[in-house]
Copies of this chain bind each other. A is one copy, B any other.
Amino acid sequence: MRVQSPFRTQKDSVAEKSGPVTAAIIMAPAKKNILERLDAGEVVIGDGGFVFALEKRGYVKAGPWTPEAAAEHPEAVRQLHREFLRAGSNVMQTFTFYASDDKLENRGNTQRFTGQQINEAACDLAKEVANEGDALVAGGVSQTPSYLSCKSENDVKAIFKKQIDVFVQKNVDFLIAEYFEHVEEAEWAVQVLKTTGKPVAATLCIGPEGDLNGVGPGDCAVRLVKAGAQIVGINCHFDPDTCVKTVKMMKEGVEKAGLKAHYMTQPLAYHTPDCNRQGFIDLPEFPFSLEPRILSRWDMQKYAREAYNAGVRFIGGCCGFEPYHIRALAEELAPERGFLPAGSEKHGTWGSGLEMHTKPWVRARARRDYWEKLNPASGRPYCPSMSIPDGWGVTKGHADLMQQKEATSKDQLKFTYQKRSKC
């Protein structure tokens, strides 16, 4: 299997030959847009979750989850983009959620960068790294507190419009409306995004039980396609199993309605068999004790295969996905794509890197069968395998938290703001 030629563009590499601009010039002509790729039947590998990864690296504060790191610590954001690119990502999502000025006050953003500074820096970083390889840049919008506070369709759309202006100015390759719990708001977002003329993808953060108003996944998908989305699917809130199951229901709905679409999944990298319909936020472990739930690279290969078999062709990740998780997707689908990602130069498929180990019992692990069948121990004999989600029930929570009047307090708004981004 051919390994994708390494992107030798990092500025300070001992062996560097050319800067990123040169690379961009060379590679740009070859780039097909997102719909050309999907229409041609190609597999598009998404990226992983910036918020959670950068939180662990020390650049994002859990709670506010604001993205000032794009301006404050660009080297950290650039490096993470590069790692996903190297792992096989074809899409660099701009690290821009929460980048509105009202949100950035009094939060993790202690250096007080303006929303404008952050948005511009994020687009530049995504583009810089995308141009080091064969990746596209995607700008995204997510659910708004305004919708949850019952503001008008016009008001909500105005918010999306303002965000999109930046992406248009920076000329991103396509747009994603992601992380919506209510399909109605997602429809509004898609309608605004369509005005740009760029390809539009839309993902909901729902499970098989449907959106928080009780609209089933099939109906949700139909409405998004009718609103103009060319790609529909699921992101965040649930594990790969649940997301693939849900996107299958979306696909059935779309096909039953005689419509056509491409499908995408960007699930959590956490096992969540115990979630209720509101997803992993209600799990007692969210967000600081999710470690035991992290998927292995083998779990990821299983996910990639199942998503592919379900007809999904835009396959990526959300919270919890680290670069090696994305690489696992690319490795699983290498037979279909015809090549391995650059990062596979440092990875033996199915543990083959162990095949010359002296200990015979370690050597015996250098095979697919071993890792596929292994049920890994938690090392935590005093812990259970599932948790009971917190929460006061969907209905009550729905009424309490969503039907807010305009005069919603700052504290109350925070909840909804936190949900706006990909993660």
CB within 8 Å of B: which residues of A? 10-15, 55-64, 71-76, 79, 82-83, 86-87, 108, 110-111, 113, 117, 121, 239, 270-274, 281-298, 322-324, 327, 343, 345-348, 351-359, 361-362, 364-365, 371, 374-388, 390-392, 397, 401, 410-416, 418
Taking a contact as CB atoms under 8 Å apart, the answer to whether B353 and A62 are in contact is yes
Taking a contact as CB atoms closer than 8 A, the residue among B323, B345, B416 that contacts A358 in the complex is: B416
Residues of B within 8 A of A359 (CB): 281-282, 390-391, 397, 401, 415
* Contact A387 B382, CB 8 Å, known A14-B113, A282-B361, A288-B296: yes
Contact assessment for B384 and A58 in the assembled complex, using a CB-CB cutoff below 8 Å: no
15 example contacts (A-B, Cβ-Cβ < 8 A) are as follows A11-B75, A58-B83, A58-B343, A63-B352, A63-B356, A110-B345, A285-B376, A289-B374, A291-B295, A293-B377, A356-B414, A357-B414, A359-B397, A377-B384, A378-B378
Whether A72 pairs with B13 at a CB distance below 8 angstroms is yes
Would you call B14 and A56 a contact (CB within 8 A)?
Answer: no
A286/B385 in contact, CB under 8 A: no
Contact B418 A272 (CB under 8 A): no
B294, A291: Cβ atoms closer than 8 Å: yes
Contact of B371 with A390 in the complex, beta carbons under 8 Å: no
Contact of A379 among B62, B239, B357 (CB under 8 A): B239
- Contact between A289 and B376, CB atoms less than 8 A apart: yes
Per a CB cutoff under 8 Å, which of B75, B290, B291, B377 touches A387?
B377
Contact of B376 with A273 in the complex, beta carbons under 8 Å: no
Interchain CB contact under 8 A, A63 and B374: no
Q: Provided the pairs A75-B10, A291-B294 are in contact, do residues A273 and B379 lie with their beta carbons within 8 angstroms?
A: yes
Q: Contact: A14 with B72, CB < 8 Å?
A: yes
CB-defined contacts of A271 to chain B, threshold 8 Å = 378-380
The answer to whether A55 and B324 have CB atoms under 8 Å apart is yes
Looking at chain A's contact residues, the main secondary structure is loop
Residue numbers in B under 8 Å from A86 (CB-CB): 58
- CA–CA, A414 to B392, complex, Å? 45
B376 with A292: CB separation less than 8 A:
yes
In the assembled complex, the CB of A47 is this many whole angstroms from the nearest CB of chain B, namely 13
Residue of A13, A76, A285, A290 with most chain B CB atoms under a 10 A cut-off = A285
Q: Give CA–CA (A37, B365) in the complex, Å.
A: 44
Pick the residue among B12, B285, B287, B365 that contacts A374 (CB under 8 A): B285
Q: Are B385's CB and A71's CB within 8 A?
A: no
Q: How far is the CA of A199 from the CA of B410 in the complex (A)?
A: 54
Known contacts A281-B359, A356-B411; is-contact A380 B391 (Cβ 8 Å): no
List residues of chain B with CB within 8 A of the CB of A364.
Answer: 390
Q: A387 CA to B380 CA in the complex, in Å? A: 11
Closest B residue by C-beta to A289: B376
Contacts of A392 in B (CB 8 A): 361
Q: Which residue of B lies closest to A388 (CB)?
A: B382
| Bound Cα distance from A381 to B239, whole angstroms | 14
Q: Are A290 and B376 in contact (CB under 8 A)?
A: yes
A295's closest neighbor in chain B, by CB? B291
Shortest A406–chain B CB gap in Å is 16
Tell me the complex Cα distance, A295–B371, Å: 22
Nearest residue (CB) in B for A351 is B288
A14 interface neighbour in B11, B108, B117, B292, Cβ under 8 Å: B117
- The answer to whether A358 touches B411 (Cβ under 8 A) is yes
What separation, in Å, do the CA atoms of A72 and B7 have in the docked complex?
12
Contact yes or no, B415 A358, CB < 8 A: yes
> A12 contacts which chain B residues (CB < 8 A)?
74-75
